[in-house]
């Protein structure tokens, strides 16, 4: 488990709470007040509103997917930029410049199927997941037990944003429980090429967009930030083929 490894291998103490029962902590306006064990890291790059590249104290780079929130798509290979996607991404980029020291609180299940860390991310004693909901840049989403520690607080925050009609909630019927409403596909548009895209798109620490196809030297170990149905889709999104 990455959390146990980092705590054992670094001299930085992990703050612990005597009681981490998710149903026992009181609702707080500032959720940083009830965070439990965290891991120190620094920002490498903000991919979009809810996906961030970090560097751990052991110099290993990881991609973090913020838990329980979903921002509109700004870099999806098969979707246009959605309303408030750029605002959400720019907000996080301004909040987390390259090199910013942060803390991550991992979910009980630490990784998703793409190998990304699932976490709550803190900067200056503020939780980024929470701030996105407060600003109306994200909806509560991907609620899967046991990664539900702050779900009640998040839903309360979202309700306030909805009532105030800010951000994504300012557009009627745009943000829903299943995602962000897309305009009907035009008759001359082609449908998505496949239902199970396998071409892996990765953006490295230098900002280079590289895609990997099955059989490539680095395909298996590559953790995708985007998936594509065809190489044409990858090229259209600004990615180049891996050299090997």
| Residues that are catalytic | 65, 73, 116
Residues 224, 210 contacting (CB under 8 angstroms): no
Rounded to whole angstroms, the Cα distance separating 27 from 34 reads 9
Residues 68, 147 contacting (CB under 8 angstroms): yes
Rounded to whole angstroms, the Cα distance separating 26 from 98 reads 34
Q: Give, in degrees to the nearest 5, the angle at Cα 202 between 134 and 69.
A: 20
Give the three-state DSSP class for 59: coil
Rounded to whole angstroms, the Cα distance separating 118 from 68 reads 9
Residues 202, 222 contacting (CB under 8 angstroms): yes
The strand pairing partners of 118, in sequence order, are: 65
| Per-residue tokens: 152 | 């009640």
* Cβ-proximal residues to 12 (8 Å cutoff; 6+ apart), any chain: 40, 57
Cα 55 to its chain centre, rounded Å, is: 15
| Per-residue tokens: 112 | 């998703």
| Per-residue tokens: 55 | 């560097």
């Amino acid at each position: 488990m990455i959390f146990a490894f980092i705590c054992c291998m670094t001299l930085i103490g992990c703050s612990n709470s005597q009681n981490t029962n998710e149903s026992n902590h009181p609702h707080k306006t500032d959720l940083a007040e009830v965070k439990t064990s965290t891991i120190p890291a620094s920002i490498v790059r903000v991919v979009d509103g809810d996906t961030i590249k970090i560097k751990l104290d052991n110099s290993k780079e990881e991609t973090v997917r913020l838990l329980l929130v979903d921002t509109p798509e700004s870099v999806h290979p098969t979707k246009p930029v959605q309303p408030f996607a750029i605002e959400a991404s720019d907000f996080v980029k301004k909040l987390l410049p390259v090199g910013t020291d942060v803390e991550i609180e991992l979910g009980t299940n630490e990784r998703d199927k793409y190998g990304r860390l699932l976490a709550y991310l803190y900067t200056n004693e503020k939780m980024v997941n929470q701030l996105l909901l407060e600003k109306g840049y994200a909806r509560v989403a991907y609620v899967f037990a046991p990664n539900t520690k702050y779900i009640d607080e998040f839903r309360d925050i979202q309700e306030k944003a909805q009532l105030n009609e800010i951000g994504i909630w300012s557009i009627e019927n745009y943000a829903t429980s299943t995602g962000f409403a897309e305009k009907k596909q035009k008759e001359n548009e082609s449908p998505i090429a496949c239902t199970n895209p396998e071409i892996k798109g990765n953006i490295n620490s230098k900002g280079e967009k590289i895609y990997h196809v099955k059989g490539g030297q680095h395909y298996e170990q590559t953790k995708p930030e985007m998936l594509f149905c065809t190489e044409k889709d990858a090229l259209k999104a600004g990615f180049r083929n891996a050299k090997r």
